[in-house]
Amino acid sequence: MSKVDRMAGGHTSVGASDRTTFASFYDFYDGPEHREGQFQMYRSLASEAGQEILELACGTGIVAIELARAGSHVTGLDISADMLQVARGKVLREDAEVQARIRLVEGDMKDFKLGRTFDGIFLTNNSYGYLTAPLDRRSCMQAIHDHLRPGGLMAIKERNYTPEVLMRTLQGQLNVRMQMGRANPATGKYTMHNWMTVHIDSVTQTITSRSFIDEIQSDGTVKRYVRGDGISRNHYYNRFELQLLIEQAGFAVRDVWGGYVRQPLGPRSYSMIFAAQKR
């Protein structure tokens, strides 16, 4: 049976299990159907690291569940009670042996204490960028180091914001873009995930954006779901900034890839993926 634990600094879960929130739509607009390359890489990394894996900012458990299906014992940590509520419901639909290999913990990745170590710790989906304050980024990296066994493996995936990508993002400021629009298989209702870049601060390397879900109701009206206060802030990295943070925390960078098939990082790579070992 999966568990949801609460840690200091986390949010308190409210409402019933069928309460519809913004998190309820996460698998609709960023679900597992297009993630096979991602799954293959993290399954491979988990196999290299060992049996005990921690995923930070695990969200609705997309990667954590996949790793547990492959045989890993996975702890998933997330600050959002709503995300963990969705994850818990999904875990309960898994076979008993998969359920037994997953533990869900509510907590803040910038400062967590789980009282144990892991063979591997993964930040899987641009999640390290959620930490926009420099002290929080260092604190998170230290907590990762503290929770890894000697020689343990850390993997971080972040978007590679090349000058061209930043220019396109800047030019698209304040324009609402529909990332996805289709009938939601879970509800049958036509649903749209919309995204708008509000501001790019080139000094702090922070992108401020808004994200919301519009769901067409049976009477033709639109119901809107907004995440939190409607504002999201993400720090964007360059390759050497992220590598320096990793090395200063006591890790040796083993590999830097530009995608899930472990291709070299290049000037047009969509992603930056670091694999590092605890010294």
Set out the domains of the chain in order of their start, with CATH numbers: 4-160+238-278 (3.40.50.150), 163-235 (no CATH)
pTM for the whole thing? 0.91
What is residue 131's three-state secondary structure?
Answer: coil
Question: What are the structure tokens assigned to 155, written together?
Answer: 């993997």
Specify the residue for token string 């170590």. Answer: 117
Q: pLDDT for 243-265, tens place per residue?
A: 999 999 999 999 999 999 999 99
Triad 232, 230, 36: Cα angle to 5°: 55
- The mean pLDDT value of the chain amounts to 92
Q: pLDDT for 79-122, tens place per residue?
A: 999 999 999 999 999 999 999 999 999 999 999 999 999 999 99
**pLDDT of 136 strictly over 80:** yes
Q: So what's the pLDDT on residue 14?
A: 29
Rounded Cα distance, 219 and 189, in Å: 11
Buried b (16+ CB within 10 A) or exposed e, 68-79: bbbebbbbbbbb
Q: So what's the pLDDT on residue 50?
A: 97
Split at pLDDT 50, 70, 90, the class of 34 is confident
If one counts every other C-beta atom within 10 angstroms of the C-beta of residue 187, the result is: 13
Phi/psi at 46 (5° precision):
-65, -40
Rounded Cα distance, 56 and 44, in Å: 18
Q: So what's the pLDDT on residue 19?
A: 73
Rounded Cα distance, 71 and 129, in Å: 29
Cβ proximity of 49 and 76 under 8 Å: no
Rounded Cα distance, 264 and 222, in Å: 44
Split at pLDDT 50, 70, 90, the class of 228 is confident
Cβ proximity of 102 and 61 under 8 Å: yes
pLDDT above 70 as % of the chain: 94
Buried b (16+ CB within 10 A) or exposed e, 191-208: bbbbbebeebeeeebbbb
Split at pLDDT 50, 70, 90, the class of 229 is confident
Rounded Cα distance, 35 and 41, in Å: 10
Rounded Cα distance, 266 and 273, in Å: 12
Of 2-11, 65-74, 209-218, 257-266, the least confident? 2-11
Split at pLDDT 50, 70, 90, the class of 158 is very high
At 38, which amino acid appears? Q
Split at pLDDT 50, 70, 90, the class of 230 is confident
Rounded Cα distance, 17 and 124, in Å: 26
In this predicted model, which residue has the larger pLDDT, 275 or 171? Answer: 275
Q: So what's the pLDDT on residue 8?
A: 32
**pLDDT of 240 strictly over 90:** yes
**pLDDT of 4 strictly over 60:** no
Q: So what's the pLDDT on residue 1?
A: 38
User: What DSSP line would sit under 134-184, residue for residue?
Assistant: HHHHHHHHHHHHHHEEEEEEEEEEEE---HHHHHHHHHTTT--EEEEEEE-
Question: What are the structure tokens assigned to 183, written together?
Answer: 């009938």
**pLDDT of 137 strictly over 80:** yes
At 257, which amino acid appears? W
pLDDT above 90 as % of the chain: 87
Split at pLDDT 50, 70, 90, the class of 204 is very high
